[in-house]
Chains A and B, each alone.
Chain A
Amino acid sequence: MARTAIVVCWAMAIALALFLLAPLLVIAAASFSPTPVFDLPLTGASTRWYGKIGRLDGFWPSLLLSLQIALLSTAISLVCGTLAAIAIARGKLPGADIFATALVSPLMMPGLVLGIALLQGFRAVGFTAPWATLLVAHLVITLPYVARTMIAGLSQFDFTLIEAARTLGCTYPGSVLRVMVPALAPSFLIAGIFSFLASFDNYPVSIFLADVRTKTLPIRMLQYIEEAPDPTLAALSTLILAGTVILLFVSDRVVGLHRMAGTSD
């Protein structure tokens, strides 16, 4: 019976791996389709759909907008979230648990509900400029990722190291910069990547704040899929996937190198 259980476990793991990869492989294969319909298995290969991405209606402004919002909101969240995580992890803050729960809570809330709540809220105070509302809204999307990752990372960090640096004559900012920053770099990188992806991929919040001229890339993409899906969209998706793979690979390398250098346990 135990042996049967092990076989079932492995069968499930392999099935799961194939099932999870299936949509990614299909998108990549479809992007090289020689015909405008997704004829799989492929009867030939063509890269012409990649050349058509740039000519999709409104593609460049949407890409630029999504990159701006994702980079800026991630940067701001990294600063605010890390500061908060330091205060929470150091244990000098009364009610630290409540703060930690509050900062991470948007992760479990339906994105669409947050979207309409923000739409109502921003309207109520007369804050309606789409670019600015998108940026502010994406702070709530990115901050919980940063807070969660940095609180977890800091819980491993020994704060007496900072005291030690101060005892040796470092100023407080100086000791933070030389002791804490290198030790936390891996968590910082992971927090940054996941919050960037969460913002770059967000649809349910952005849809309520966008207008005809200010549309993020996910909004554009859903519109393309609903209007006229052709392999151009698969090509665009493949490029985004490739970018994600590179981002994960590089971060793995960088974080790995940091660990090898012994700056983090």
Chain B
Amino acid sequence: MTEAALPAPMAAPSVDRERLAAFGFVLPSVVIIAGVFALPLVLLLGVSIVDANGLTFAHYKRLLGSPYYLGVIWNSLRLGLLTTTIAFLISYPAAFALARARGALRSLLLATLFLPLAASVIVKAFAWTILLRSDGIVNETLIALGIIEDPIRMIFTETALIVGAVNIFLPFMILPIYAIVAQLDSRYAEAAATLGASPLVTFVRVILPLTLPGIIAGVALVFSLSVSAYVVPTLLIGEKYPTLATTIAKAYLLTREPGFGAAAGVVLLAIAIAVVTLSARMSREPK
């Protein structure tokens, strides 16, 4: 069979036609993202600065000008920072062990990461309310071990909040770090050692920079998830730790102040965009 004998589709479609087809393929998704994501966010910005009397910055003044709401913003950032730091400190060494594991052990460890990732956030937060109750397992274990005499109040404290948040968002930290560590060529470390570098110098000057893209990805993901978490603070600490997320929910669902809720939403959105932009810039730079 020669090429000449083949029917019309043989002829390469023109570049224009291919481009047109490509635009046709992305069009449904672009319509969804533009119409149900980008436009509503722009509208939200509008709602936060326009009221019945026209342009207003009253909502932002209330949010950024009062010690109470500055405290609320700080609570969100604090939740994000503490969760991210602790999750990183646990995940980074663990990722190296995971990368060294082989066979059944590796499958088992990976399963312990994927299963909680697939499990419902509400289910996990609910489990922590059971675990941390004053007559819960954690207290009873500590008493049985003789570490404490009387039950400590854990649920509805910041400790409970951070423990729960770290637990729920950990997989998002370790998976991107593991993905990088698993590809790490051990000969780099050997070369550094051969050239006389101490283990500490090898780690700081070779291993750490090589694994930086995974760290940046994990940190950005965990921070943006925990700074805006809603279910976790609601179930594990409640009213006494108001965050931007709980403020938004309250403004829309209870007090009916959409303008103020929208302003809080815009602030949270700005934090998320800052994290994304910063991490994108940082992961591009070192190369």
Q: Within the complex, which residue of A9, A90, A234 is in contact with B94, where a contact is CB–CB below 8 Å? A: A9
B262 CB–A CB distance under 8 Å: yes
Cα-based distance from A32 to B119 in the complex (angstroms):
19
Q: What is the total of A-B residue contacts with beta carbons within 8 Å? A: 272
Cα-based distance from A247 to B114 in the complex (angstroms):
12
Interface string of A120-153 (1 = CB under 8 A from B): 1100100000000000110110010001000000
A86→B115 contact, CB < 8 A: no
B33→A240 contact, CB < 8 A: no
B242 CB–A CB distance under 8 Å: no
B43 CB–A CB distance under 8 Å: yes
A99 CB–B CB distance under 8 Å: yes
Closest Cβ of chain A to B192, distance in Å, is 12
Cα-based distance from A193 to B115 in the complex (angstroms):
13
CB nearest neighbor in A for B38 = A102
Cα-based distance from A220 to B5 in the complex (angstroms):
65
B211 CB–A CB distance under 8 Å: no
Cα-based distance from A169 to B167 in the complex (angstroms):
55
Q: A24-B116, A92-B22, A221-B122 are known contacts. Are A117 and B98 too (CB-CB below 8 A)? A: no
B228→A9 contact, CB < 8 A: no
Q: A23-B167, A136-B36, A221-B122 are known contacts. Are A109 and B115 too (CB-CB below 8 A)? A: no
A222→B115 contact, CB < 8 A: no
Closest Cβ of chain A to B214, distance in Å, is 15
Closest Cβ of chain A to B5, distance in Å, is 10
CB nearest neighbor in B for A201 = B120
Cα-based distance from A87 to B97 in the complex (angstroms):
39
B137→A26 contact, CB < 8 A: yes
Q: Chain B residues with Cβ under 8 A from A87's Cβ? A: 21-26
A27→B33 contact, CB < 8 A: no
Q: Chain B residues with Cβ under 8 A from A137's Cβ? A: 36
A218→B122 contact, CB < 8 A: yes
Q: A9-B97, A222-B122, A233-B126 are known contacts. Are A106 and B115 too (CB-CB below 8 A)? A: no
B55 CB–A CB distance under 8 Å: no
Within 8 A of A (CB), among B177-231: 199-200, 203, 220-221, 224, 227-228, 230-231
Interface string of B152-177 (1 = CB under 8 A from A): 00000000000000010011001000
Q: Chain A residues with Cβ under 8 A from B167's Cβ? A: 19-20, 22-23
A83→B25 contact, CB < 8 A: yes
Q: A12-B94, A113-B248 are known contacts. Are A30 and B121 too (CB-CB below 8 A)? A: no
A229→B26 contact, CB < 8 A: no
Q: Chain B residues with Cβ under 8 A from A38's Cβ? A: 130, 133, 136
A112 CB–B CB distance under 8 Å: yes
B268 CB–A CB distance under 8 Å: yes
Q: By DSSP majority rule, is chain A's interface helix, strand, loop, or mixed?
A: helix
Within 8 A of A (CB), among B59-108: 90-91, 93-94, 96-98, 100-101, 108
Closest Cβ of chain B to A136, distance in Å, is 6
Binding site for B on A (CB under 8 A): 1-2, 5-6, 8-10, 12-13, 15-17, 19-24, 26-27, 30, 38, 40-41, 79-81, 83-84, 86-88, 90, 92-94, 99, 102-103, 105-106, 108-114, 116-121, 124, 136-137, 139-140, 143, 147, 166-167, 169, 171-172, 193-194, 197, 200-201, 203-204, 207-208, 218, 221-222, 225-226, 229, 233-234, 237, 240-241, 244-245, 247-248
Besides the known contacts A12-B97, A143-B32, 16 further A-B residue pairs in the complex with CB atoms under 8 A apart: A5-B203, A23-B167, A30-B127, A80-B28, A84-B25, A93-B25, A110-B245, A112-B248, A113-B44, A121-B40, A139-B32, A172-B9, A203-B122, A225-B126, A229-B129, A234-B130
Give 10 closest A-B pairs by Cβ, nearest first: A23-B127, A110-B228, A121-B40, A13-B97, A87-B25, A117-B40, A84-B29, A93-B22, A9-B97, A87-B22
Binding site for A on B (CB under 8 A): 3, 6-7, 9-10, 15, 18-19, 21-26, 28-30, 32-33, 36-41, 43-44, 47, 90-91, 93-94, 96-98, 100-101, 108-109, 112-116, 118-124, 126-131, 133, 136-137, 140, 167, 170-171, 174, 199-200, 203, 220-221, 224, 227-228, 230-231, 234-235, 245, 248-249, 252-253, 258, 261-262, 265-266, 268-269, 272, 275-276
